[in-house]
């Protein structure tokens, strides 16, 4: 039985392919390279010393998808395909709903046709909207997402819940990621956004490598220890390992729809990240304090207990590792 990985050349997808191959899974990977590079596929093979089938295609292409299910014995699907830029989703909501929601539906409907009912979904902590309590547990209220990207994640979660309610032979893991950062320690794969990054860590990395002049810190008047926003940053390799554990859970007898936070449970401020990045990489990150970014929340971090108890998931990498690995990848490019 093989695992179909959609969006396997992307940031989280590529790291997960590495961990799956290391754990002995056989893979079929698809990607349309709309936000990733073809060279990533070779790099996954170099890191692991293992081979897998790869198809360059859009996961909305149902006939090609069917061909994959006919040609391979697929046992489970992990879905990383989808658009992920928050700001862009506000500009292009239709594109986001088509690619993320319709894409997931085409995939799920094809799975149903071929009798494949194990599904791992890349969701996001953004589904919690404005948190009512911190740390966030999986039973916290979801909804009132603040942008179409977040709403696509919320809608797909609801679709999965409805599918499971209608047919309890499905086996589904919804993984709510907190803030994935860092890169593989080889420096061969990592986060490589086009243009000016929106997220903190890739922005800092571009300042460190002098591609951008200075970081703007969006507000230092939040009710946090130093006034800057606090988030739960998780090393992408830890996050990738969470997918292997989730697949193992789906391989067990008991069927279900399981929801897990994948975070560390630790909150770090923007200034913590800047200071740590400077220290471990021996670089300077010039910054200025600017206005708060619209829609930003002061403090957001996970309670990771459920994933620890039910999956055995514990994030082991430190903030030093996250900053070091992010910079190593950028320096090697």
Give the integer Cα–Cα distance in Å for 322 and 265. 15
* Interaction residues for ligand UDP, span 168-187 (CB under 6 A): 179
Using the structure block, give the residue that is written with the tokens 């997960």: 16
Indicate the helix (H) or strand (E) that contains 174.
strand 171-177
The residue from 55, 59, 149, 164 that is catalytic is 149
Residue 182 C-beta: closest distance to ligand UDP, Å: 13
Q: Tell me: does residue 217 bind ligand UDP (CB under 6 A).
A: yes
Q: Tell me: does residue 221 bind ligand UDP (CB under 6 A).
A: no
Contact between 35 and 194 under an 8 Å Cβ cutoff? The reply is yes
Q: Tell me: does residue 147 bind ligand UDP (CB under 6 A).
A: no
* Interaction residues for ligand UDP, span 30-59 (CB under 6 A): none
Task: Kindly give the residue spans of alpha helices, DSSP state H, lying in the chain.
Answer: 11-22, 39-48, 62-71, 86-91, 93-96, 103-113, 148-166, 200-208, 236-251, 270-281, 305-311, 319-332
128 burial type by CB count under 10 A (0-12 exposed, 13-18 middle, 19+ buried): buried
* Interaction residues for ligand UDP, span 287-306 (CB under 6 A): 293, 296
**By beta-carbon distance, which residue lies closest to ligand UDP?**
229
Q: Which is nearer to ligand UDP, 8 or 82 (CB)?
A: 82
Q: Tell me: does residue 83 bind ligand UDP (CB under 6 A).
A: no
Residue 293 C-beta: closest distance to ligand UDP, Å: 5
Ramachandran angles phi, psi of 318, nearest 5°: -95, 170
Contact between 105 and 272 under an 8 Å Cβ cutoff? The reply is no
Q: Which is nearer to ligand UDP, 244 or 319 (CB)?
A: 319
In the sheet that holds 230-231, the strands lie side by side as 268-269, 230-231, 299-300
Q: Which is nearer to ligand UDP, 57 or 200 (CB)?
A: 200
Q: Please give the size of the binding site for ligand UDP, defined by CB under 6 A.
A: 14
Q: Tell me: does residue 248 bind ligand UDP (CB under 6 A).
A: no
Q: How far is CA 30 from the centre of its chain?
A: 16
Residue 319 C-beta: closest distance to ligand UDP, Å: 14
The one-character DSSP state at 178 is -
Q: Tell me: does residue 203 bind ligand UDP (CB under 6 A).
A: yes
Active site residue 149: yes
Q: Tell me: does residue 224 bind ligand UDP (CB under 6 A).
A: no
Residue 290 C-beta: closest distance to ligand UDP, Å: 8
Give the integer Cα–Cα distance in Å for 143 and 148. 12
Contact between 191 and 326 under an 8 Å Cβ cutoff? The reply is yes
- Give the range of 53-61, 103-111, 210-218, 305-313 binding ligand UDP by CB under 6 A: 210-218
* Interaction residues for ligand UDP, span 269-288 (CB under 6 A): 270
**Which of 171, 190, 169, 193 lies closest to 181, judged by CA?**
190
Q: Which is nearer to ligand UDP, 54 or 149 (CB)?
A: 149
Residue 321 C-beta: closest distance to ligand UDP, Å: 18
Q: Which of residues 134, 200, 307, 323 is near ligand UDP by CB under 6 A?
A: 200
Report helix, strand or coil for 93.
helix
Q: Tell me: does residue 220 bind ligand UDP (CB under 6 A).
A: no
Q: Tell me: does residue 146 bind ligand UDP (CB under 6 A).
A: no
Just list the catalytic residues: 149
Task: List interacting residues with ligand UDP (CB under 6 A).
Answer: 179, 198-200, 203, 215-218, 229, 231, 270, 293, 296
């Amino acid at each position: 039985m093989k695992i179909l990985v959609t969006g396997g050349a992307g940031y989280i997808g590529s790291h997960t392919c590495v961990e799956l191959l290391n754990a002995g899974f056989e893979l079929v990977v698809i990607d349309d390279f709309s936000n990733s590079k073809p060279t990533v596929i070779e790099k996954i093979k170099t890191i692991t010393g293992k081979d897998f089938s790869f198809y360059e295609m859009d996961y909305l292409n149902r006939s090609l998808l069917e061909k994959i299910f006919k040609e391979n014995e697929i046992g489970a699907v992990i879905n990383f395909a989808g658009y992920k830029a928050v700001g862009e989703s506000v500009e292009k909501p239709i594109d986001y709903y088509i690619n993320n929601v319709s894409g997931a539906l085409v995939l799920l409907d094809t799975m149903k046709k071929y009798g494949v009912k194990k599904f791992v979904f890349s969701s996001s902590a953004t589904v919690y909207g404005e948190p009512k309590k911190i740390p966030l547990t999986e039973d916290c209220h979801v909804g009132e997402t603040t942008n179409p990207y977040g709403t696509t994640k919320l809608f797909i979660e609801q679709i999965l819940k409805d599918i499971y309610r209608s047919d309890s032979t499905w086996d589904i893991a919804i993984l709510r990621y907190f803030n994935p950062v860092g890169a593989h320690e080889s420096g061969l794969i990592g986060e490589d956004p086009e243009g000016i990054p929106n997220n903190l860590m890739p922005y800092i990395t571009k300042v460190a490598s002098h591609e951008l002049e200075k970081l703007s810190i969006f507000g230092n008047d939040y009710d946090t220890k130093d006034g800057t926003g606090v988030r739960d940053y998780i090393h992408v390799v830890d996050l990738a390992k969470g997918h292997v554990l989730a697949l193992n859970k789906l391989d067990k007898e008991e069927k279900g729809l399981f929801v897990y936070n994948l975070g560390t449970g630790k909150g770090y401020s923007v200034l913590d990240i800047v200071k740590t990045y400077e220290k471990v990489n021996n670089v300077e990150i010039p910054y200025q304090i600017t206005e708060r970014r619209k829609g930003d929340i002061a403090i957001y971090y996970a309670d990771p207990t459920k994933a620890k108890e039910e999956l055995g998931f514990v994030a082991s990498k430190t903030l030093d590792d996250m900053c070091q690995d992010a910079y190593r990848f950028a320096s090697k490019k």
